[in-house]
Amino acid sequence: MRTVSYAVAGFVLSALMLGAPASWAAEPKAGAIAPKAGAAEQGGVYKRAIDRNVSLMEAAESMRLRANALNLQLVAELPMSKQVEAVTGKPQRTIIIFQFCDAVLAKDLIDANMDFSIYMPCRIALIEDAKGQGWLVMMDVNVDAVAQEKRLPEALKVRIETVRKSLLEIMQAGAKGEL
């Protein structure tokens, strides 16, 4: 019971920490390619539908494998739906929160400004909606706005953008069931 309580509390605190200023929400870049079919962008959120022929567990495994290939460490996997089932005794739709991290970049960002700790680790949620459709969802930060506000050196900004692109690639792999 204690483990479940800590996990639920951790999830709630993580969700509360996502309250970043609206100015940090990613905006479409000029000349950017439109989102791929099944992808949706809205005010600081990036969503990607999981292909119907890909099971949720295949999507999860594809994300783990792609993160490993990109040298982005999976530091936590929170099976929220299983935790809710354990507390309520009722079956739940799938909700799994994956947390990824580049530890060296995380330390460098915290050294630059401890406020960056609220973004760590990077999260991708795997969620089954009420219709049974699987989704991958993450916060999409406007790297340019954050870097400018926090006066980050260009080298750190480039590293953040690289991690953001890796997260999008992880979501793509999960949505398509790619290994």
- Determine the topology of domain 2-176 in CATH: TATA-Binding Protein (3.30.310)
3-state SS class at 137: strand
Residue 43, pLDDT score = 64
* pTM (two decimals): 0.76
Question: What residues of the chain score a pLDDT lower than 70?
Answer: 1-43
What ranges do the domains of the chain cover? 2-176
Residue 143, pLDDT score = 86
3-state SS class at 128: strand
Residue 98, pLDDT score = 97
Instruction: From 164, 172, 169, 127, select the one nearest 142 (Cα to Cα).
Output: 164
